[in-house]
A = this chain, B = another copy of it.
Amino acid sequence: MPSATLDTLLVNTIRGLAMDAVQAANSGHPGMPMGAAPMAVALWTRHLRHNPSNPKWFDRDRFILSAGHGSMLLYSLLHLTGYDLSLDELRSFRQWGSRTPGHPENHLTPGVEMATGPLGQGFATGVGMAIAERFLSATFNRPGHVVVDHHTYAIVSDGDLMEGITNEAASLAGHLGLGKLIYLYDDNGISIDGSTKLAFTEDVLGRFDALGWHTDRVDGMDVDAVDQAIVRAKAETGRPSLIACRTVIGFGSPNKGGTEKTHGSPLGEEELRLTKEALGIPLEPRFFVADAAREAFGRAVSQGEAAENEWNERFAGYATAHPEGAAILRRAMAGDFAPEWNAFPEFADKIATRAASGKVLNAIAPVVPTLLGGSADLAGSVNTTLAAFGTFQQDSPTGRTFCFGVREHAMAAALNGMNLHGGVRAYGGTFLIFSDYCRPAVRLAALMGCPTPFVFTHDSIGLGEDGPTHQPVEHLAALRAIPNLHVMRPADGNETAVCWRMALASPSTPCALALTRQSLSSTTPPPGADHPALRGGYVLAEPRDGRVDVILVATGSEVALALAAREALAKEGIGARVVSMPCTSVFDGQDSAYRQAVLPQGVPTVSIEAASTFGWAKYAEAHVGLDRFGASAPAERLFEEFGFTVENVVAVARGLLPMANA
């Protein structure tokens, strides 16, 4: 078969599968796969180095479908190139229990690198993957021994390019000169509401030129043209590449092609028939794959196995020549740390938990050489710098501290990309208030099971004078509401170390560490493997005589307040237990006997947290909290004005006791 004819067959095979699956589900987005199929064929049959038999082969190229609504494009490619995704799965598109959900989910489907759909996330996460590749290749490759060397590809849409996170990530990628990042822009001129001219008339490639990218424009319906553009992009090693591929959404559909009508709805039986006729695809059977197409796509299996075998040999040679590097890289690729990783420092003196966090990271850093991190232009405030290991820049790619710029959202997504890539463990920091700016990426980490540690400092009105625009009030609650996210608010330096222990040991749950600006006394035990904070919440102090009249459950900076209130209550003959609750979700995961032992039903309980009381009714019937915005003033004054005083805690606790009602 002439290669042009074969290409057309491959392209139309994808179109047919996409149309059929969306029609069968009576739900989905056929237009994008139909328009983007040629560029996908160019990339997947001529460039992408991957091994369908081992989707986790470390040195594979990464491919992200940032335009996740075109999921049938990806599922078709995965099925056709031999991943463990059967035609029956494609037939179950968007159905309960299938591995072909409406938008791709990495934790469900082999070969899917990340969950996409929320626009811009794929674009920015891919930047993180390319950063990880850059760091690892610079750190571990040796002359004659190249063991990390792959590209990060994505297909992105106009929706992706409109999102702010994309500009943040693109500016960062341009700054860092990520030459192995190659994005294909599905430039179909159509968004949900109609022509992109309704709202998106900027000079996209001009913008990316200004951001330091190599840009190119080709006919996206021409497989060879896209292929050649990818060749040019690979040749450009100093800048990331954006290739605008002019495509026709819903190509082939005689009445709907080129319009928004093919974006988010099935073509309908009649239009499906007409489209298949126009494209020369048999109407039946549905989900038809010609033998020639299956064979051509299927070559990916042997090619992929050969590529991985060749890499294995290369790695063996590397291991012989550089056994130390190989040992470290092997461990890093497996996601493990050196056994001594959890020798955490102990904190006896007063220290801000943000500062303790910085000390913990710097203590671990020499032992875990693939631990990386940075901040969104707040390095000095959030203590994320690994002082001894340099800054990651274009000309210093083995640096381990990252300057993400004032780009919280792209930072969070890039961190996810670094951790999804593997081989590195990446954290990043900003103020807790700005967790709002990166919230979609934090949520996606939780959904993807990507255990990124987010460092959120200045975690309350303890921030002081910067005022309510910078004082988180509702953020602890808002983050705790996200499934599969551990929000940790340690009470002192030791609990901070314990939280880092949990965060770094977490296989598939991201963590948000809420840390203070202000110094806190050391009130909890040294951070050994037996620290009770590992259970999320625990009894920190009991009443002297053992009789628990009231429980004070507190987090972070308010634990010390609870301890002081306990003393004051003791003077009134009231026995108060203090529970430190650095992580409600870890506590909730304990067995009920433990939870009952810590917070027995029927014992009056007061929660104390310098934040919204939202969510605390689950644990306590009275609250010392802050259900309004903060104010600008020195921190001590704010704690006093807002009732975070021993007197007020005592009064609230007293109010719960029977004698109060007498």
A55 in the interface, Cβ–Cβ < 8 Å? no
Residues in B with CB closer than 8 Å to A638 are: 96
A591 in the interface, Cβ–Cβ < 8 Å? no
Given contact pairs A118-B433, A164-B164, A212-B202, A466 touches B102 in the complex (Cβ within 8 A): yes
A38 in the interface, Cβ–Cβ < 8 Å? no
A3 in the interface, Cβ–Cβ < 8 Å? no
Q: Give the distance in Å from the alpha carbon of A629 to the alpha carbon of B204 in the complex.
A: 35
Instruction: Determine whether the beta carbon of A171 is less than 8 Å from that of B202.
Output: yes
Instruction: Determine whether the beta carbon of B164 is less than 8 Å from that of A467.
Output: no
Question: Which of A80-88, A240-248, A340-348, A375-383 sits within the interface?
Answer: A375-383
Query: A68, A97, A158, A468: which has the most chain B beta carbons within 10 Å?
Result: A468
Instruction: Determine whether the beta carbon of B199 is less than 8 Å from that of A172.
Output: yes
Instruction: Determine whether the beta carbon of B28 is less than 8 Å from that of A465.
Output: yes
A201 in the interface, Cβ–Cβ < 8 Å? yes
A247 → B minimal CB distance (Å): 18
Query: Nearest residue in B to A612 (C-beta to C-beta)?
Result: B481
Q: Which of B159, B172, B446, B480 contacts A377 (CB 8 A)?
A: B159
How does the 8 Å CB contact mask read for A199-214 relative to B, with 1 for contact and 0 for none? 1111111110111100
A119 in the interface, Cβ–Cβ < 8 Å? yes
Instruction: Determine whether the beta carbon of A406 is less than 8 Å from that of B631.
Output: no
Instruction: Determine whether the beta carbon of A468 is less than 8 Å from that of B193.
Output: no
Given contact pairs A380-B192, A470-B117, A162 touches B481 in the complex (Cβ within 8 A): no
Instruction: Determine whether the beta carbon of A96 is less than 8 Å from that of B631.
Output: yes
Query: Nearest residue in B to A407 (C-beta to C-beta)?
Result: B162
Instruction: Determine whether the beta carbon of B192 is less than 8 Å from that of A381.
Output: yes
Residues in B with CB closer than 8 Å to A440 are: 434, 436-437
Instruction: Determine whether the beta carbon of A193 is less than 8 Å from that of B632.
Output: no
A222 in the interface, Cβ–Cβ < 8 Å? no
A186 → B minimal CB distance (Å): 14
Query: A118, A467, A617: which has the most chain B beta carbons within 10 Å?
Result: A467
Instruction: Determine whether the beta carbon of B470 is less than 8 Å from that of A481.
Output: no
Question: Which of A289-297, A331-339, A471-479 sits within the interface?
Answer: A471-479
A628 in the interface, Cβ–Cβ < 8 Å? yes
Given contact pairs A193-B378, A211-B207, A612 touches B168 in the complex (Cβ within 8 A): no
How does the 8 Å CB contact mask read for A428-439 relative to B, with 1 for contact and 0 for none? 000001101101
A105 in the interface, Cβ–Cβ < 8 Å? yes
Residues in B with CB closer than 8 Å to A378 are: 192-193
A166 in the interface, Cβ–Cβ < 8 Å? yes
A95 in the interface, Cβ–Cβ < 8 Å? yes
Instruction: Determine whether the beta carbon of B101 is less than 8 Å from that of A468.
Output: yes
A656 in the interface, Cβ–Cβ < 8 Å? no
Residues in B with CB closer than 8 Å to A129 are: none
Q: Give the distance in Å from the alpha carbon of A478 to the alpha carbon of B120 in the complex.
A: 22
Instruction: Determine whether the beta carbon of B175 is less than 8 Å from that of A631.
Output: no
* In the complex, chain A residues 450-480 whose Cβ is within 8 Å of any chain B Cβ: 464-470, 473-474, 477-478, 480
Q: Give the distance in Å from the alpha carbon of A120 to the alpha carbon of B168 in the complex.
A: 12
A356 → B minimal CB distance (Å): 21
Instruction: Determine whether the beta carbon of A191 is less than 8 Å from that of B405.
Output: yes
Q: Give the distance in Å from the alpha carbon of A406 to the alpha carbon of B629 in the complex.
A: 30
Q: Which of B105, B191, B469, B641 contacts A105 (CB 8 A)?
A: B469
A539 in the interface, Cβ–Cβ < 8 Å? no
Given contact pairs A105-B468, A466-B102, A171 touches B192 in the complex (Cβ within 8 A): no
Q: Which of B94, B199, B202 contacts A403 (CB 8 A)?
A: B199
* In the complex, chain A residues 103-128 whose Cβ is within 8 Å of any chain B Cβ: 103, 105, 115-120
A614 in the interface, Cβ–Cβ < 8 Å? yes
Q: Give the distance in Å from the alpha carbon of A191 to the alpha carbon of B175 in the complex.
A: 16
Instruction: Determine whether the beta carbon of B210 is less than 8 Å from that of A377.
Output: no
Q: Give the distance in Å from the alpha carbon of A375 to the alpha carbon of B464 in the complex.
A: 37
Q: Give the distance in Å from the alpha carbon of A393 to the alpha carbon of B200 in the complex.
A: 12
Instruction: Determine whether the beta carbon of A466 is less than 8 Å from that of B175.
Output: no
How does the 8 Å CB contact mask read for A155-189 relative to B, with 1 for contact and 0 for none? 00011001111111001101100000000000000
Instruction: Determine whether the beta carbon of A469 is less than 8 Å from that of B447.
Output: yes
Q: Give the distance in Å from the alpha carbon of A470 to the alpha carbon of B105 in the complex.
A: 12
A242 → B minimal CB distance (Å): 13
A627 in the interface, Cβ–Cβ < 8 Å? yes
Given contact pairs A199-B405, A211-B202, A377-B192, A633 touches B95 in the complex (Cβ within 8 A): yes
Residues in B with CB closer than 8 Å to A615 are: 477, 481, 614-615, 617
A571 in the interface, Cβ–Cβ < 8 Å? no
How does the 8 Å CB contact mask read for A613-649 relative to B, with 1 for contact and 0 for none? 0110110000000011101111001100100000000
Instruction: Determine whether the beta carbon of B101 is less than 8 Å from that of A632.
Output: yes
A23 in the interface, Cβ–Cβ < 8 Å? no
Instruction: Determine whether the beta carbon of A465 is less than 8 Å from that of B210.
Output: no
Q: Give the distance in Å from the alpha carbon of A483 to the alpha carbon of B632 in the complex.
A: 17
Instruction: Determine whether the beta carbon of A118 is less than 8 Å from that of B469.
Output: yes
Q: 16 new A-B pairs (CB below 8 Å) besides A116-B469, A162-B168, A202-B211?
A: A27-B465, A27-B634, A95-B632, A96-B634, A96-B638, A101-B467, A103-B470, A117-B469, A163-B406, A164-B166, A193-B379, A198-B391, A206-B209, A436-B439, A474-B482, A481-B615
Question: Which 9 A/B pairs are nearest by Cβ-Cβ distance?
Answer: A164-B164, A206-B210, A101-B632, A199-B405, A117-B469, A167-B167, A474-B481, A96-B633, A478-B478
Give the interface of A toward B (CB within 8 A).
25, 27-28, 68-69, 94-98, 101-103, 105, 115-120, 158-159, 162-168, 171-172, 174-175, 191-193, 198-207, 209-212, 375, 377-381, 391, 393, 403-407, 409-410, 433-434, 436-437, 439-440, 443-444, 446-447, 464-470, 473-474, 477-478, 480-484, 612, 614-615, 617-618, 627-629, 631-634, 637-638, 641
Can you list 18 residue pairs at the A/B interface with Cβ under 8 Å? A94-B465, A118-B434, A119-B406, A162-B168, A163-B168, A192-B380, A193-B380, A199-B377, A207-B207, A207-B210, A207-B211, A447-B468, A447-B469, A477-B614, A478-B482, A480-B614, A483-B627, A617-B617
